[in-house]
Chains A and B, each alone.
Chain A
Amino acid sequence: MSAVTTGSLHEAAPATIRRQLDRDDVLMRVGIALLICWLFFTIALPLWALLSKSFQNQDGQFVGLANFITYFSTPALFQSVWNSLYVAILSTVIVLPLAFAYAYALTRTCMKWKGLFQALALIPILAPSLLPAISLIYLFGNQGFLKELLLGGSIYGAGGIVIAQVFYCLPHALMILVAALSMADARLYEAADALGASKVRIFFTVTLPGAKYGVISAGFVVFTLVITDFGIAKVIGGRFNVLATDIYKQVIGQQNFEMGAVVGIILLLPAILAFAADRIIQRRQVALLSARAVPLEPKPEPRRDWAMFAFCAVVGGLIFGILLVSFWASLITRWPYNLTLTLKNYFFGDFDTNGWEAYWNSVILALWTAVIGTGIVFVGAWLLEKSRGFAWGRGIAQLLAMLPMAVPGLVLGLAYIFFFNAKWNPLGFLYATMAILVINSVTHFYTVSHLTATTALKQLDPEFEAVSASLRVSLLRTMVRVTVPVCLPAVLDISIYLFVNAMTTVSAVIFLYSTDTKLASVTIVNMDESGFTAAAAAMAMTIVFTSAGVKIAHVLLTRRLERTTQAWRRR
């Protein structure tokens, strides 16, 4: 017998081998099927309900494009498209250079107090978008104490929206740009230096191209945030209509659900386009940083460093100032007539029937969202990352998991009304409960959490599962014993992200709360509408304090975790 049996004379092609499934495979496939079901019911079907609603009349009959034709032939409605694009583009154009310079100062200079400036710039993330708008009204509104600076102009309208958006979007752009600018290969700079390139030339030929994809990504993020944000336009937009406020007016004001659906679809378009464009461009990005790259250590350059310090002090100061204005406003008896300090604006029961209950509802929502969301997201990402075979199932789940990113909160909320409120839907019992708010929040913030979890899982050695199988240990056990402990920092990040966002979001929940489940952020809108601006500021501040507290606890916990696990974590 020969050791090698060479492939013999052309026989029929041998049969394809199909691997038998073991218990892990079966469990994981069931898990993926459940994940697909979950995503199907929480994102795909609601969007479908929204889509079909936009093609129906008030009696539920199919009317083709009639609603869209009405929309585009009504100048009062159609104007909002241009208005939305205008503020979104203007805000993006302002935020990008500011955020870039700020990120540059944080990553590429030897400026003092970097930590402080970084923390300052991230403050707006902890606040609802309504907060900067409220502060601006106190500063420049009809009774604002800096009103004269506007020389007779009005803060209500595009100007106010853009300023507030710049405040609100800056940290989002900043995080992306800091990440992009921290990745730099010192060897490139040394080479450019050795070739005698000027500082300006190095900036334009090395620094900027290196951060190109970060800038593009940040641009899309800001554009999408602005065009889909509801709170700022609601509070400070005045008679300047944008798409987000139009939806609200159509649905809540005029009960015209069909026209609301049309505006929702239109709002979906730029968000989806921006999302798709960003994905395509990011895919082109090749790894700029090879494994041999030498990290760039900025060298002191007093003139530049101090100039950047001044810049950051101004920007960071303004951000903190805007926060302080709201805080101060929340402590004043009666603006502008009685400036004595008081806590009575925090007696929310005097301004809104739900009082403090709304705040506790928000906390409960945020907790549930963090717990349930982290569980579903992490297990889901684990299933998609670690299961074998079943490519089509994983593909569908992956696609559905990316979908929420492209859907603005307001549109998602509206889609939920149509889906969960439909007469035929057996899930209708969820309508107007805390559960639907939790489901909505988990879905709204699903994609970012999913990507965080996936990134963390990808950093694990892909052979852990192979080793487990060879030792005949179930993958589930390996997940509990190894995967989760190693990914714990990412798990914490996800839960905090979900908590803070569920705490601060307005747009996703404005259509879905009931009298029993009214939320803090919704109360802010209501109190502002009723003229209780000081109470609105106070409620906004309680949200800020809560998310800041959670964030600080997160930092402390992460530090502790790093200490207790440093024995096995590589430096």
Chain B
Amino acid sequence: MSIATNHNPDGAPYLRIERLTKQFGSFTALKDIGLEIYPGEFVCFLGPSGCGKTTLLRAIAGLDIQTSGRIFQGGKDISALPSSHRDFGIVFQSYALFPNLSVSANVGYGLVSRGLPKVEIETRVNELLHLVGLPDAGRKYPAQLSGGQQQRIALARALALSPGLLLLDEPLSALDARVRSHLRVEIRRLHQRLGVTTIMVTHDQEEALTMADRIVVMNHGVIEQVGTPTEVYRKPASAFVADFVGTTNFLNAVVAGPGHVRLGDINLACELDVHFGPGNDVTLAIRPEDVVVRNIGPATPNTFDARIAEIEFLGSFCRVGLAINGELAGGPPALVADFSINAVRDLAIAEGKVMPVALPPDRLRVFARPPQAP
């Protein structure tokens, strides 16, 4: 049974960040960040390189203190505390293992200076090495281990003092693809076993989608969206999120009336925010896999004809370029759709064919255009 996913909005958050701003000289790396993280959650900070993820993580750790704003951990105001007085374990992309110390000494590094008896330290180190699946690595030096093994040791070291908060800064980015996906599962499993509140920084959306209970999508020093992987993927809060997480079609449209937009000559029903008025320029976003081609009947909403302009075979599905509106006779595709091989076969989808497709209203996202510069 996992305690990880029970983020309970009614319970007290374990970590609360209020109006946090970080400035490097005149450059603002973080702008007025607010965030709450609940006990036992696994949260990913996701965003492109340079958006301020590491800066936020380091502020939480007290390594680079914020310019202003408050941080509460376990109900206690830790805003101004030095790192050594906070309660966290940390793992870096570079592993940062002490090269001249054996694996055991690395893992036990924090235990030794606590003045624990030697036997107790040894037991705890062994326990941690078992936990990360490297029970026999104790006598080796970090340089004698592979990258993935070194990162597990770094993880064991970070967990040695049983911290209340585990911080991971791109822990998998330096590893090759196979090791990475393996370690992803391991970290996730470890988290479920220990239930320690965890924040992981990553620029890899797949990593965030597969590992996180909740994702914090960041861009240019602000939080664009906070939500579960499904929410972030299904209901991106901004064009940026829609673009950064997964693949998305962006289409220019104009608001026709309440709950309706016009895409060229096509009238589409969608969930439209009240603040849009008729004539407003908007951007429609829809994922390729949400474009429907099967079971289209007379009652199916948002149905229109499209011409198959291109087909790209990608194994289990085909990526299809659709020409719509005035381009039915010929012209470039305006819309990309992913159709299963089944559908392609059953409907005899082929280049040049004109056929009806539908854009389900609950799959359409509408954003103001031009997207407000953050």
Residues of A within 8 A of B (CB): 1, 3-7, 13-25, 461, 463-464, 466-474, 477, 481-482, 485-486, 565, 567-570
Given contacts A467-B92, A470-B158, 11 further A-B contacts (CB under 8 A): A13-B68, A14-B69, A16-B68, A24-B84, A463-B94, A463-B96, A466-B63, A466-B83, A469-B62, A471-B157, A570-B99
B323 within 8 A of A: no
A18, A469, A470, A477, most chain B CB atoms within 10 A = A470
The residues of B that contact A5 with a CB separation of less than 8 Å are 18-19, 34-36
Residues in B24-70 with C-beta less than 8 Å from chain A: 31-32, 34-36, 61-63, 65-70
B321 within 8 A of A: no
Closest to B98 in A: A482
Min distance, Cβ B104 to any Cβ of chain A, angstroms:
13
User: How far is A3 from B10 in the complex, measured between Cα atoms in Å?
Assistant: 11
Count of chain B residues with Cβ under 8 Å from any Cβ of A? 54
CB within 8 Å for A467 and B68 given contacts A17-B80, A568-B100: no
User: How far is A468 from B101 in the complex, measured between Cα atoms in Å?
Assistant: 14
CB within 8 Å for A17 and B226 given contacts A4-B35, A6-B34: no
The residues of B that contact A472 with a CB separation of less than 8 Å are 84, 110, 113-114, 161
Min distance, Cβ B300 to any Cβ of chain A, angstroms:
35
The residues of B that contact A469 with a CB separation of less than 8 Å are 62-63, 82-84
CB within 8 Å for A470 and B90 given contacts A6-B34, A20-B80: yes
Check B66–A17 contact: CB distance below 8 A. yes
Check B161–A471 contact: CB distance below 8 A. yes
User: How far is A4 from B89 in the complex, measured between Cα atoms in Å?
Assistant: 25
B303 within 8 A of A: no
B109 within 8 A of A: yes
26 contacts between A and B (CB under 8 A): A3-B227, A4-B35, A4-B226, A5-B18, A5-B36, A6-B32, A7-B34, A18-B65, A19-B81, A20-B85, A21-B82, A22-B83, A463-B92, A467-B90, A467-B92, A469-B82, A469-B84, A470-B61, A470-B84, A470-B90, A472-B114, A472-B161, A482-B98, A567-B144, A568-B141, A569-B99
B143 within 8 A of A: yes
The residues of A that contact B81 with a CB separation of less than 8 Å are 19-20
CB within 8 Å for A464 and B96 given contacts A22-B84, A470-B89: yes
Check B68–A22 contact: CB distance below 8 A. no
User: How far is A458 from B8 in the complex, measured between Cα atoms in Å?
Assistant: 45
Closest to A464 in B: B96
The 7 A-B residue pairs with the shortest CB-CB distance, nearest first, are A471-B110, A7-B32, A5-B34, A469-B83, A463-B96, A568-B141, A22-B82
The residues of B that contact A16 with a CB separation of less than 8 Å are 67-68
B151 within 8 A of A: no
B219 within 8 A of A: no
The residues of B that contact A25 with a CB separation of less than 8 Å are 82
B171 within 8 A of A: no
Min distance, Cβ A22 to any Cβ of chain B, angstroms:
4
Check A19–B113 contact: CB distance below 8 A. no
The residues of A that contact B114 with a CB separation of less than 8 Å are 472
Closest to B86 in A: A470
Closest to B167 in A: A470
User: How far is A18 from B150 in the complex, measured between Cα atoms in Å?
Assistant: 35
CB within 8 Å for A486 and B100 given contacts A473-B113, A474-B113, A568-B142: yes
Check B65–A17 contact: CB distance below 8 A. yes
CB within 8 Å for A18 and B19 given contacts A461-B94, A470-B89, A482-B101: no
CB within 8 Å for A477 and B113 given contacts A470-B158, A486-B100: yes
A7, A22, A461, A565, most chain B CB atoms within 10 A = A7
CB within 8 Å for A569 and B143 given contacts A22-B85, A461-B94, A466-B90: yes
B367 within 8 A of A: no
The residues of A that contact B339 with a CB separation of less than 8 Å are none
B223 within 8 A of A: yes
Closest to A474 in B: B113
B80, B101, B109, most chain A CB atoms within 10 A = B109
User: How far is A17 from B63 in the complex, measured between Cα atoms in Å?
Assistant: 13
Check B69–A1 contact: CB distance below 8 A. no
User: How far is A488 from B46 in the complex, measured between Cα atoms in Å?
Assistant: 40
User: How far is A92 from B355 in the complex, measured between Cα atoms in Å?
Assistant: 83
Check A14–B223 contact: CB distance below 8 A. no
User: How far is A22 from B82 in the complex, measured between Cα atoms in Å?
Assistant: 6
Closest to A469 in B: B83
The residues of B that contact A481 with a CB separation of less than 8 Å are 98, 101
Min distance, Cβ B62 to any Cβ of chain A, angstroms:
7
B9 within 8 A of A: yes
Contact of B68 among A15, A23, A468 (CB under 8 A): A15
B88 within 8 A of A: yes
Closest to B112 in A: A473
The residues of B that contact A466 with a CB separation of less than 8 Å are 61, 63, 83, 90, 92, 96
B21 within 8 A of A: yes
The residues of A that contact B83 with a CB separation of less than 8 Å are 22, 466, 469-470
Closest to A466 in B: B63
